[in-house]
Amino acid sequence: MAQSDDEDDYMKMVFDDTPKEPKYETSIQRAARKRKEAEARSRQKTKAEREAEAEAAREAALATALPEDNKGFKMMAKFGFKQGGTLGKSENARKEPIQIVVKDDKSGIGLESEKKRKIRETFEHARKAAKREKEEEGDFLEERKQKQKERRAEKDLDNAQRTAERLFDKDAEEKGTATVEETPPERISVFWRSRVRRRIEQQREKQQQRELDNSLSSRLPMLAHDDEDDDNDTKTALGQDVAPFYTTLENDLENDDSELADFEALPVLERLHKTLVFLRDTYKYCLYCGYQYPDVAMDGCPGITEEDHD
């Protein structure tokens, strides 16, 4: 059976249970309201609340344009000012007033700028100090890297000079010429002459020490022996001097090698490069390949330096 249109639809009915305020205020309600208003008026606002209200009022005033009946607006209008425009002839001039910065402390005028200046100086000083420390660290690392490179070059130079001496003896045996021991130091190549000079100096130091020991032993008490015809073996057996101990010192002073001194004054990397070139040109030998090539072309060798062989 179909429902009629006149019947109420209970599913769509709205029941308003919200209590409605009385139309008229009773005496009790009025007394309570006045008491609350009096308490609100008598309560002292905190500093934060007063500052917030002042800030809100200031922002509201700044956000409000001057009314056209304002005396200041009328004065500016005489000079061509229009609402929303700029002052003066320039179209790029300021359209909004300069923001107000409230000074809420007791410090003098300009102290804030001084504080900012000191802060900027502190940051600038810290930045420069960090930059200087970084540069010093970079210089230290670069210096350490350079020293390691020089130590490695000194080791390679010693190996190159030893190799040059060995190849010189090998070439002398094949050609039947004088070996290193039989060749005067001044006739040896300056690139590895220092190695021979050091060995000669060591031998001379040992000889000097032996001659000094013999000179001292010859002054010890011993049996009288006046035979002047004794040979050197007899004198040596008796502890007598065969030659004065200063003989080797005189010989050492005679050997002045300016060419070698000039070469030793060069940086170690330059000395190494010159010695490597000498080995290649003279003996067709590459130190880092460790091989003596059959011809001058030295096919297969990547280069002179160690970096070329990496």
Say whether both 177 and 129 belong to one domain. Answer: yes
For residue 245, what pLDDT is reported? Answer: 45
Query: How large a percentage of the chain has pLDDT more than 90?
Result: 11
* 32 falls within a domain: no
Say whether both 203 and 247 belong to one domain. Answer: yes
Say whether both 274 and 175 belong to one domain. Answer: yes
For residue 179, what pLDDT is reported? Answer: 87
Greatest mean pLDDT among 7-16, 75-84, 86-95, 101-110 lies in: 75-84
* 16 falls within a domain: no
Query: Per-residue confidence at 18, pLDDT binned at 50, 70, 90?
Result: low
Say whether both 257 and 203 belong to one domain. Answer: yes
Q: What is the mean pLDDT of residues 184-200?
A: 87
pLDDT tens sequence across 255-304: 577 888 889 888 988 999 999 999 999 999 999 999 999 888 888 898 88
* 177 falls within a domain: yes
* 169 falls within a domain: yes
Q: What is the mean pLDDT of residues 152-167?
A: 91
Q: What is the mean pLDDT of residues 37-45?
A: 84
- As a whole number of angstroms, the distance between CA 114 and CA 120 comes to 10
Say whether both 260 and 191 belong to one domain. Answer: yes
* 243 falls within a domain: yes
Say whether both 211 and 235 belong to one domain. Answer: yes
pLDDT tens sequence across 62-100: 778 878 888 888 888 888 778 777 777 777 777 777 777
Say whether both 154 and 293 belong to one domain. Answer: yes
Say whether both 207 and 310 belong to one domain. Answer: no
Say whether both 115 and 154 belong to one domain. Answer: yes
- As a whole number of angstroms, the distance between CA 303 and CA 289 comes to 9
Spatial contact of 245 and 211, defined as CB atoms under 8 Å apart: yes
For residue 83, what pLDDT is reported? Answer: 79
Look up residue 243 and give its amino acid: A
Say whether both 123 and 255 belong to one domain. Answer: no
Q: Which domain holds residue 288?
A: 111-183+266-310
Spatial contact of 165 and 191, defined as CB atoms under 8 Å apart: no
For residue 160, what pLDDT is reported? Answer: 92
Say whether both 117 and 258 belong to one domain. Answer: no
- Counting the structural domains of the chain, the total is 2
* 199 falls within a domain: yes
* 23 falls within a domain: no
What per-residue string of b and e applies to 199-232 under the rule 16 or more CB within 10 Å gives b? eeeeeeeeebeebeebbeeeeeeeeeeeeeeeee
Say whether both 272 and 162 belong to one domain. Answer: yes
* 118 falls within a domain: yes
Nearest to 227 by CA among 238, 215, 243: 238
